[in-house]
Amino acid sequence: MSKTVTDELINANLRYAQDFTDPGMNARPVRKVAIVACMDARLDLHAALGLDLGDCHTIRNAGGVVTDDIIRSLTISQRALGTSSVVLIHHTNCGLQELTEDFRQQLEHEVGQKPSWAVESFTDLDQDVRQSMARVRTSPFLLHTDDVRGFVFDVTTGLLREIDPSATPGR
């Protein structure tokens, strides 16, 4: 039986654990920030933002879009673990820009059941960041909605570009 990627990860963990020492921190982020970002493997958020272990909560999904489950995680992050700032990060060349809601129909055809979730695909990156900011700012479950900022990470330069939440789409 050949080794799988998971086997390789387990072996890497064994090497990691040999030199591991308990950092003595709790689950409350030192910088009191929660970052919502895409799951894209090209985004090394800690390196890109100068973060250390324990600085933030990192919540990731396909597209970095604010879904009900993101709101659930942010609510727990704020109400139980003390975060007060939210940073939203989408990125250039995102795979969700290539998908449509037809993906759900394709899945239904293939497996015989339509997913209960939306794909949340988008064509306008900036507008989707604005929509995500609005979803956070209007959630009744979140205590802190004043410091919510959205960005687009350029996967070719590594730079963040801040999105104006009040800009008119398409202009």
40-55 average pLDDT score:
96
Distances, alpha carbon 97 to alpha carbons 90, 91, 150, in Å: 11, 10, 18
Contact 90, 155 (CB under 8 A): no
Strands 85-91 and 148-153 turn out to be parallel
Tokens of residue 98, six digits: 């290539």
pLDDT band for position 20 (cuts 50, 70, 90): very high
pLDDT band for position 171 (cuts 50, 70, 90): low
Q: Rounded to whole angstroms, how far apart are CA atoms 30 and 5?
A: 33
45-63 average pLDDT score:
97
pLDDT tens per residue across span 107-153: 999 999 999 999 999 999 999 999 999 999 999 999 999 999 999 99
Strands 56-61 and 33-38 turn out to be parallel
Question: Residue 58: what pLDDT?
Answer: 98
24-42 average pLDDT score:
96
24 pLDDT more than 60: yes
pTM score: 0.92
Tokens of residue 68, six digits: 């009900």
17 pLDDT more than 90: yes
pLDDT tens per residue across span 57-78: 999 999 999 999 999 999 999 9
**30 sits in which H/E element:** none
Question: Residue 170: what pLDDT?
Answer: 59
The residue ranges of every structural domain in the chain are: 26-163
Tell me which amino acid residue 135 is.
Answer: R
Number of H-type helices and E-type strands within the chain: 5, 5
* CATH class of the 26-163 domain in this structure: alpha beta
Question: Residue 77: what pLDDT?
Answer: 98
| Percent of residues, the chain, with pLDDT higher than 70 | 98
pLDDT band for position 31 (cuts 50, 70, 90): very high
Average pLDDT, the chain: 95
15 pLDDT more than 90: yes
**C-beta atoms surrounding 82 within 10 Å:** 15
Q: Rounded to whole angstroms, how far apart are CA atoms 98 and 94?
A: 8
